[in-house]
Amino acid sequence: MKKTNTIINTAIETILTESNAIANLAKLIDADFEEAVKFILNSNGRVIVTGIGKSANIATKIVATLNSTGTPAIFMHAADAIHGDLGNVQKDDVVICLSKSGNTPEIKVLVPLIKNYGNKIVAITGNVDSYLGEHADFTLNAYVEKEACPNNLAPTTSTTAQLVLGDALAVCLLDLRGFTSKDFAKYHPGGALGKRLYLRVSDLVENNQVPAVNETDSIAKVIIEISEKRLGVTAVLNNGTLTGIITDGDIRRMLSKSTQISEVTAKDVMGKNPKTIFEDAMAIDALTTMEKNSITQMLVVDHKNNYVGVVHLHDLIKEGIF
């Protein structure tokens, strides 16, 4: 078994080998990359991403990234393509072909078939002088000096380079399409990420109770209202107009100072000018405001400043936004 320091050194060497290779890719970006991006952007078809072996695995990730950023894409395994799956390629589709050597038998069979269909090929290859590199319409140079594998055999640095070029393509297309966070939310409705982008305060408060007391109400009534509504807070109103807020912390502090509470009213205890948020605001904005002000609840109002409810930190935690 390797000693710990040897393991750590190997890990560091692997990371440095790959990071240096990735940094070198920036020097290899040329006019073909720009033209490939423009062609895909203006294409009326989809992007078909293909490869074999580990390149096929990278191709599936590139497909996922393109789809999630507004460029329709599908994966086609190079070996399956020459055994029937070539039917996936339709008119106007652009084919991105990944291959380190650019000379694998499947690629040599596949490339002329695609070109016979009239489709354009974007090559991502570590060998621009290969069969793939010379026959592609656009060739993206994914050259790496060596694999991170100590035997220089297992695809490591080379597949990372392919992945990075795929990301660069996707980000360029995203930028040119003017793809926004709202667009991103449409393609990522599930999970915490999606909720951060589309969930609104109104979605959180619609099932919450709406605690409220009048300025003239007794502290006893305030305590009952806070306890029954289970949000740790109540709004204070004057003829229906929001004028203040009382939290359970306010009640504790008041009781610690005095036991003579029979004459105390909500107005005497409330905090004035409470932090509020519009019901159509994004939930993530509520979280940001809570964190900034070190609070756990906010009163929610409509655009006429009518009080409509309470958003609690627990609501944000429950939805996975916190």
**Annotation: binding site for Zn(2+):** 77
- Given the DSSP bridges, would you call strands 94-99 and 307-312 parallel, antiparallel or unpaired? unpaired
Both tokens assigned to 129: 């002088």
Give the dihedral sign, CA 137/19/73/88. positive
Separation of alpha carbons 123 and 130, rounded Å: 10
Give the dihedral sign, CA 254/260/262/264. negative
Q: Extract the annotated binding site.
A: 77, 83, 216, 268
Beta strands in the chain (DSSP E): 47-51, 73-77, 94-99, 120-125, 138-141, 212-214, 233-238, 241-247, 271-272, 276-278, 297-301, 307-312
- The single-letter code of the amino acid at 322 is F
**What would the DSSP string read from start to end of 105-170?**
HHHHHHHHHHHHTT-EEEEEES-TTSHHHHHSSEEEE---S--SSTTS-SSSHHHHHHHHHHHHHH
Strand partners, 47: 73, 94
Both tokens assigned to 67: 């789809």
Both tokens assigned to 81: 């393509």
Separation of alpha carbons 29 and 243, rounded Å: 61
Nearest to 68 by CA among 214, 194, 176, 210: 194
Q: Extract the annotated binding site for substrate.
A: 77, 83, 216, 268
